[in-house]
Structure formats: C-alpha cells, structure tokens
C-alpha cells in the first residue's frame, strides 16, 4: 500500500521552513543564501532516500530512481515569493520525496520508480518558469546570461556562481523514461475549504490573457477646462473599466477571473486633466471558448467607447497562453485515490495560478493535485494547511502514483 509517514512529511516541511524563516512563513528568493542551503539540504534528503540526486547548471535538482522500467516524475519548486508562505512549492517537493520513499519502502511497490524534480525559479525572481522550461529544452544559454533579479540587481549567472553551479550541464527531460508527471500544490484559493473538501484534482491550468488598455485624450488645466470640453483620458478609462465590470459577470464562465492590476494617469498631478491613461487588464480561464467570448466583448466595449469620439481607446493583447490540460487518466487516478482515502471529499477544478506542470504537460501526461489552503491565503507568510490535510494529501498523491505505475 506504500503508506506514507506523516511525521516525516511534516518534519521535512518544517525543516525546509527554517531556511529563510520569516514569521510563520519564509523569505527565500531564488538562489539567495537560504535558497542555496535549502537546495543542498533537499538534494541530501533525496540521496538519503536512495535516489541519485544532483543539481544542474540552472539550479534544478533531479533525484533519479534506481528502479527499472518507466517511472513517474514528480516535484515542484523550493524557492518562495518574498516574505511568503512555507508550503507554496515545498509541499509538492516533499510529497514527491515522500512518494519515492514510501514506494521504495514497501515490498509490494519497491520495484516502481519515482524520480523527484525541483524546478528552479518558478516564483520568477529571475525570469518566467526558467527551471521547468529549461528541463523541457526551452531555455537557451543566452536567456540565462540575460536573466537578472530586478530586486537585487544580481544576474542569474553571478547567483549561480556562488554555490558553484554555473557552467554545469543542465538536465533535459527524457520523455521515454517517464509515464507521467505529478505535481502537488496548495490550492492558494478557498474553493476546497469553502466546500469542506480535502483534495482537488486539477483539470487544467488556466490560460492567462494579458491586455494593455490605452486611452489618449487631451491634457489640460483642471480649473479652466469645462466638463463639456474635456477629453479626460482618466475618466474614459474609469468608465470603460466600470463597464467591463458590469458586463462580464453575465457572460463569464463559473471560474473566470479578471483583474486590473495597474492604472496610470499621465501626468498624474492633482490639477491636470490626464491626457493619457493606461491599465493592465488580465483574464484567466481554462476554457478557450470563454476566453474568446470575453475577448470579443472586451474589444466591443473598447470600440464603443472609442466610437464616442471623446478619447482614442486602444486595446493591445500583450500575451495569450493556452490552457494546459491535465491528463484524463491521471485525473482519474487522483480522484480514485482521493475517494478511497477521503470519500466524497474531493472535486475537480482548474488551477487559476500557473505551475511548472503546465510546461511538463508539453512533454508528458501531467497531473496536479491540490490540498486546502486555510482561508484561501497564499503569497503571504500566514499561508497554511492543517497537518491532517497535509498528511492526507501525501497519501493520496502516493496512491495515485502507485496506481499509474502499476498501469
């Protein structure tokens, strides 16, 4: 049955939380001193578990199982957001380690192999998913040369030199070695908690469509320009954003989210009518049809405001990813394992956040499993999951991997 050992899972997580401890969370940016120490410690734990572990030229860690046959690759990331939680990333790494250990410790399953991967910089201190993208062959050396942490000004090359990892070869995926990729993660939202559920089986990692809205009006004196004569770019932008917010609920999907993360009025002074206004607007959904519908409506709203002639409005789609669909067979294995360990306490749901699994899904059948986040809080030092939920999740994760490996 490959029983996991809850106290070992919790102990490993708590040890990891000491690297860069901050209040009840961690501050462990990619390749910071505590991050380097955490990577070294984790590689040691992989070795202790009987895996052949090493760290590559982009600080990815790979622990390779000596077992014969096709293996499962499992893992996540170790670095944290700034002053953030202890579980975002480490939970998936320790679950993968525990699955490898539990499977190796059980006579019935010890012939099955689990490789453990830790992908560097999922949290984007230097770039965008550099570790997982490197692993599937999408990162050139020149991209590493150009990667800089904007918070510290340090280049990734310099940072990799500190522990002596710069110049090492980088691991590249061998898809023939693996039957599947599994990643566990905290939900980071409150869907599971609010429904009283314990396990989330991810159906897809949402696509993110990122837009820039630009409004051009006429900068003018805020005292001498009558309301009728104004071409106030800020006012037009506010009207448009309010119109989007009023319209979208009627046509969005059940889990669509949209966010205006930034607004800039130019020149941004109290007594000057803004001549220019800009907003960053983002849509996320796992369903391409929903995204298309909202994109069409967004364009229509912008065109309507533009046609009124007060200001010029422009909508630029800066980026548009496609949803990363999780493998149906693997979802079934996770749901089956969840049903056995926590009957009725699981659901399928999309992931609103990006994860390394979205890149691995390009090369392997991929799956993601969520455990509840208390209060839905993440990217904050108060992020937490109950010990019982952590233990249950580790067992369901391991069970599903065994199921897939036993094919």
Chain contacts with its own copies (rule: CB under 8 A) = 187-191, 206, 208, 210, 219-227, 229, 232, 234-235, 238-239, 241-242, 245, 249, 252, 255-265, 268-274, 280, 282, 284, 351-354, 376, 378-380
CB of 41 to its own copies, least distance (A): 27
CB of 227 to its own copies, least distance (A): 6
Q: Which is nearer to its own copies, 13 or 265 (CB)?
A: 265
Q: Which is nearer to its own copies, 115 or 123 (CB)?
A: 123
CB 71 within 8 A of CB 177: yes
Q: How far apart (Å, rounded) are the C-alpha atoms in residues 324 and 345?
A: 25
Q: Which is nearer to its own copies, 345 or 379 (CB)?
A: 379
CB of 52 to its own copies, least distance (A): 35
The three state secondary structure string of 3-69 is CCCHHHHHHHHHHHHCCCEECCEECCCCCCHHHHHHHHHHHHHHHHCCCEEEECCCCCEEEECCCCC
Measured CA distances, 296 to 248, 309, 315, 327 (Å): 11, 21, 11, 29
Element (H or E) spanning 333, and its range?
helix 328-341
CB of 42 to its own copies, least distance (A): 25
- From the list 210, 186, 202, the residue with the least C-alpha distance to 325 is 202
CB atoms within 10 A of CB 292: 12
Q: Which is nearer to its own copies, 163 or 376 (CB)?
A: 376
CB of 63 to its own copies, least distance (A): 28
CB of 331 to its own copies, least distance (A): 19
Q: How many CA atoms lie within 13 A of 144 on its CB side?
A: 25
CB of 195 to its own copies, least distance (A): 12
Task: Tokens for 54, please give them.
Answer: 């090493």
- From the list 136, 53, 59, 65, the residue with the least C-alpha distance to 99 is 65
Q: Which is nearer to its own copies, 147 or 191 (CB)?
A: 191
Q: Which is nearer to its own copies, 180 or 206 (CB)?
A: 206
Tokens 């939380």 -> residue? 17
- What residues have CB less than 8 Å from 244, skipping those under 6 apart? 258, 281, 298, 301
CB of 234 to its own copies, least distance (A): 5
Q: Which is nearer to its own copies, 65 or 214 (CB)?
A: 214
- In 210-267, which ranges are continuous DSSP H helix? 233-247
């Amino acid at each position: 049955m490959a029983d996991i050992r809850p106290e070992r899972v919790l102990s490993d997580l708590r040890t990891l939380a000491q690297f860069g401890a901050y209040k009840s969370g961690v501050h462990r940016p990619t390749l910071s001193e505590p991050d380097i120490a955490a990577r070294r410690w984790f590689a040691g734990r992989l070795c202790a578990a009987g895996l052949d572990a090493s760290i590559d030229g982009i600080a990815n860690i790979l622990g390779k199982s000596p077992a014969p046959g096709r293996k499962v690759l499992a893992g996540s990331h170790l670095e944290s957001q700034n002053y953030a939680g202890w579980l975002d990333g480490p939970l998936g790494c320790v679950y993968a380690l525990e699955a490898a250990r539990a499977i190796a410790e059980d006579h019935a399953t010890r012939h099955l192999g689990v490789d453990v991967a830790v992908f560097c910089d999922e949290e984007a201190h230097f770039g965008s998913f550099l570790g997982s993208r490197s692993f599937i062959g999408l990162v050139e050396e020149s991209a590493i040369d150009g990667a800089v942490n904007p918070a510290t000004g340090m280049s990734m090359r310099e940072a990799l030199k500190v522990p002596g990892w710069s110049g090492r070869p980088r691991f590249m995926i061998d898809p023939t070695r693996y039957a599947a990729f599994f990643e566990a993660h905290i939900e980071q939202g409150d869907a599971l908690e609010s429904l009283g559920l314990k396990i989330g089986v991810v159906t897809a990692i949402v696509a993110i469509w990122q837009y820039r809205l630009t409004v051009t009006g006429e900068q003018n004196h805020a005292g001498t320009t009558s309301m009728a004569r104004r071409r106030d770019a800020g006012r037009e932008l506010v009207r448009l954003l309010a119109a989007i917010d009023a319209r979208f609920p009627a046509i969005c999907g059940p889990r669509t989210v949209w966010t205006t993360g930034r607004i800039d009025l130019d020149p941004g002074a109290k007594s000057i009518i803004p001549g220019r206004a800009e907003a960053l607007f983002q849509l996320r959904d796992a369903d391409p049809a929903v995204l298309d519908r909202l994109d069409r409506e967004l364009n229509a709203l912008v065109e309507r405001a533009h046609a009124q002639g007060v200001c010029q409005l422009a909508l630029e789609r800066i980026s548009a990813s496609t949803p990363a669909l999780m493998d149906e067979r693997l979802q079934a294995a996770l749901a089956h394992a969840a049903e056995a360990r926590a009957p009725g306490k699981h659901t399928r749901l999309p992931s609103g956040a990006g994860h390394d699994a979205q890149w691995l899904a390009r090369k392997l059948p991929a799956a993601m499993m969520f455990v509840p986040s208390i209060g839905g809080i993440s990217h904050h030092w108060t992020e937490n999951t109950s010990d019982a939920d952590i233990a249950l999740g580790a067992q369901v994760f391991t069970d599903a991997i065994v199921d897939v490996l036993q094919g």
